[in-house]
Amino acid sequence: MTGPRNEYPRPQFVRPDWLCLNGEWQFEIDQGDSGLDRGLLDRDLNSRIIVPFCPESKLSGIENHDYLNAVWYRREVTIPAQWTGRDVLLHFQAVDYDTTVWVNGVEVGRHRGGSSPFTFNLRGVAAPGETVTLVLRARDSHTRPQPRGKQAREYGPEGAIYVRTTGIWQTVWLEPVPEVALRRPRITPDVANRMFRLEQPITQNQTGLRLRAVLKDAQGEVVSAEVAADLDLSPRLDLPVPEDRLRLWSIEDPHLYDLEITLIDAQGGVVDQITSYAGLRSLTISGKAVKINGKTVFQRLVLDQGYYADGILTAPSDEALIHDIELSMQAGFNGARLHQKVFEERFLYHADRMGYIVWGEFPDWGCSRMGPLNDEHQKPGPDYITQWLEVLERDYSHPAIVGWCPLNETWQSITDQITDLDDVTRGMYLATKAMDTTRPVLDTSGYSHRVAEPDIYDSHDYTQDPDTFAQRHAGLAEGKPYLNSFENWALPARMVDNKNWSLPYRGQPYFVSEFGGIWWNPDVKAGEVSWGYGDRPTSIETFYDRFERLCAILLDDVNMFGYCYTQLTDVYQEQNGVYKFDRTTKFDMDRIRAAQQKPAAIELKG
């Protein structure tokens, strides 16, 4: 298929027939959000945009950085006639933020949230062989509390806050499916029993339906299984892997099995069929260690914010996604914390096949300039949990994901009052545990740990002096880790009256999930805004010394299971990346890599 970003958008749930709708659409900015009253639903729009790039981006052809309170899209599409006899699904991989969609003037659905995919069935509205008109309106407030990640609420980017994204920012596509169809499978690896456990939801039951799954590797079929599918909307089956075909997924050997799933009718005919893939690996906690396949793995993570100078939140190409993983691995990292952004599915696919471990995170910032504060008009709401559940459903089966982080830097001390933040933090934690019992969950990354039983505990520490950094973390051996507090932050008095920001540490695996952020940009121009954490090193040798010593302190701590260095690339004015914003080199990468390659103490302990 031609057009931008035309690769299949959902690699773990594939059907052969589909139609990519990326490319040129009609477009109009509706600053007063009066477009419905002014007839934008029924007329041509006044501009053009290249989907899936947001109108703030250069690649969209618009590049408008103003507040875009509402935007409209319009396009005519001819649905392939060869799809006759099947329902047509209209998929949006991500649209920011409140979306309404009409087809031929009929509203077919609504969705709230900027990070998760949604789908509308066009049955009764449009059919194969017809030419239809698609219209989409996206509303995006810069004042209302909503999860927006690192998108600026103020006019322009500042500090650690960047350019906004409005409207469509991931692939739009059509897909034909039968009336009785397979939904997204849930694939759970079970290393202890050498098998995959498959849960396969279907849209409805019919007498005589059966579900068949075939697991394959490079040699061909490994195992197949079949089960009745007419008594359960989510039939389950096990796929045991024979000893001679057993191959675990790991960082060193990211082996993926292919999976073919078929729904069969009472006469033996194929009702629906999809292909997927799966990695067989386990995650366990042993004392302070997090183990993959029973082996302690020190997680050398980098903070990846997934921003691009020309596409903002949207990678300019599939190759750009691959390149970011390659750059990280070349620098010596074995994974990433995917920070304040739900990365597109194709990134996770590449992480799966390249052996690159990641933590999934919700872009919860947006109730205030710096995360969920407890101002009356800035409360995180139930929509956080709703949208996070959509993300968990989408990403559950990816072997590269080794942990979940629903919230980031919840800036609120613990007082005598139970707050909305308490409810949302616990709600998101429990939702995660209910959706996924196989991965560790961090209730919030840094600052206010409000759940009594998180699987993981952490802190953020941007101290630039290695000696001070070492002193701060020396207490972990005695069960007294460094905890974040209000110190060194200009926070409202209501937040610093109570110094208790977190419930007690109870011996969980612990890591410093943000550190470093060393400011280095020798090419900064006069008048250019540039910043990083703490004092900028006076020379590149000073940078190397600081980087090497900070990493060594954490690698040498037998009670530390990992770390996350800030960050992979510069992002706009925040110039503390290992690479520049355009992904070109800033440092001697052999030296950066070497600093991280010494065996970690917790790995040596076993």
404 and 499, same domain (yes or no): yes
User: How far apart are the C-alpha atoms of 50 and 61, rounded to whole Å?
Assistant: 6
297 and 267, same domain (yes or no): no
pLDDT of residue 369: 47
For the chain, give the longest Cα–Cα distance. 76
Encoding tokens for residue 281?
């690996």
Could you tell me which residues come within 8 angstroms of residue 281 by beta carbon, excluding any fewer than 6 positions away?
189, 191, 248, 249, 250, 292, 293, 399
Domain assignment present for residue 498? The answer is yes
310 and 224, same domain (yes or no): no
Strands (E), 140-194: 167-168, 172-177, 186-190
Q: Please give the distance of CA 85 from its chain centroid, rounded to a whole number.
A: 36
More confident: 103 or 384: 103
Domain assignment present for residue 196? The answer is yes
pLDDT digits (tens, 9 = 90+) for 136-164: 999 998 888 889 999 998 899 999 999 99
Instruction: Cis check for the bond before 97: say yes or no (omega within 30 of 0).
Output: yes
User: How far apart are the C-alpha atoms of 216 and 18, rounded to whole Å?
Assistant: 24
295 and 274, same domain (yes or no): no
308 and 271, same domain (yes or no): no
388-415 exposure pattern, b = at least 16 Cβ within 10 A, e = fewer: bbbbbbbbbbbbbbbbbbbbbbbbbbbe
Could you tell me which residues come within 8 angstroms of residue 560 by beta carbon, excluding any fewer than 6 positions away?
288, 298, 473, 476, 510, 511, 512, 554, 600, 601, 602
211 and 99, same domain (yes or no): no
- Section 117-130 average pLDDT: 97
Domain assignment present for residue 10? The answer is no
Number of domains present in the structure of the chain:
3
User: Of 278, 313, 328, which residue is a domain's last?
Assistant: 278
Domain assignment present for residue 197? The answer is yes
pLDDT beyond 80 at 511? yes
User: How far apart are the C-alpha atoms of 238 and 192, rounded to whole Å?
Assistant: 13
**3-state helix vs strand vs coil in the chain, percent to 5:** 20, 30, 50
User: Of 255, 278, 301, which residue is a domain's last?
Assistant: 278
- Section 358-362 average pLDDT: 97
415 and 477, same domain (yes or no): yes
Domain assignment present for residue 321? The answer is yes
502: domain CATH number? 3.20.20.80
The helix (run of H) or strand (run of E) holding residue 433 is: helix 420-435
Given a contact cutoff of 8 angstroms between Cβ atoms, the answer to whether 503 and 478 are in contact is: no
Q: What is the chain's mean pLDDT, rounded? A: 94
| Helices (H) then strands (E): counts for the chain | 9, 31
pLDDT of residue 374: 47
- Section 200-215 average pLDDT: 96
| R_g over Cα of the chain | 24
Handedness of CA 142, 148, 153, 157 (dihedral sign): negative
Burial environment of residue 155 by CB neighbours within 10 A (0 to 12, 13 to 18, 19 or more): exposed
pLDDT of residue 405: 96
Domain assignment present for residue 79? The answer is yes
139: domain CATH number? 2.60.120.260
User: How far apart are the C-alpha atoms of 127 and 86, rounded to whole Å?
Assistant: 8
Domain assignment present for residue 25? The answer is yes
pLDDT of residue 3: 84
**DSSP string for 499-563:** ---SPPP-S--EEEEEEE-B---TTPPTT---B-BSSPPSSHHHHHHHHHHHHHHHHT-TTEEEE
Strands (E), 149-245: 167-168, 172-177, 186-190, 195-199, 210-217, 220-228, 236-240
- Section 309-333 average pLDDT: 98
pLDDT digits (tens, 9 = 90+) for 422-446: 888 999 999 999 999 999 999 999 9
pLDDT beyond 70 at 370? no
At residue 528 the predicted structure's pLDDT band, cuts being 50, 70 and 90, is confident
260: domain CATH number? 2.60.40.10
Given a contact cutoff of 8 angstroms between Cβ atoms, the answer to whether 488 and 533 are in contact is: no
Only one residue has tokens 């997927």, namely 276
Instruction: Give the structural domain span for 255.
Output: 192-278
pLDDT of residue 376: 41
100 and 204, same domain (yes or no): no
User: Of 122, 154, 177, which residue is a domain's last?
Assistant: 177
DSSP state of 242: P
Q: For residue 23, give the 3-state DSSP assignment.
A: strand
pLDDT beyond 80 at 546? yes
234 and 296, same domain (yes or no): no
363 and 472, same domain (yes or no): yes
Could you tell me which residues come within 8 angstroms of residue 548 by beta carbon, excluding any fewer than 6 positions away?
595
Stretch among 116-130, 361-375, 404-418 having the lowest mean pLDDT? 361-375
Given a contact cutoff of 8 angstroms between Cβ atoms, the answer to whether 573 and 557 are in contact is: no
Strands (E), 279-341: 283-286, 289-292, 295-296, 299-304, 335-338
197 and 99, same domain (yes or no): no
CA-wise closest residue to 342 among 393, 284, 275: 393
Only one residue has tokens 């520049």, namely 580
123 and 235, same domain (yes or no): no
Domain assignment present for residue 284? The answer is no
Burial environment of residue 21 by CB neighbours within 10 A (0 to 12, 13 to 18, 19 or more): buried
pLDDT beyond 70 at 488? no
At residue 284 the predicted structure's pLDDT band, cuts being 50, 70 and 90, is very high
Given a contact cutoff of 8 angstroms between Cβ atoms, the answer to whether 291 and 284 are in contact is: yes
User: How far apart are the C-alpha atoms of 99 and 94, rounded to whole Å?
Assistant: 10
pLDDT beyond 60 at 368? no
More confident: 24 or 384: 24
pLDDT of residue 413: 76
pLDDT digits (tens, 9 = 90+) for 223-279: 999 999 999 999 999 999 999 999 999 999 999 999 999 999 999 999 999 999 999
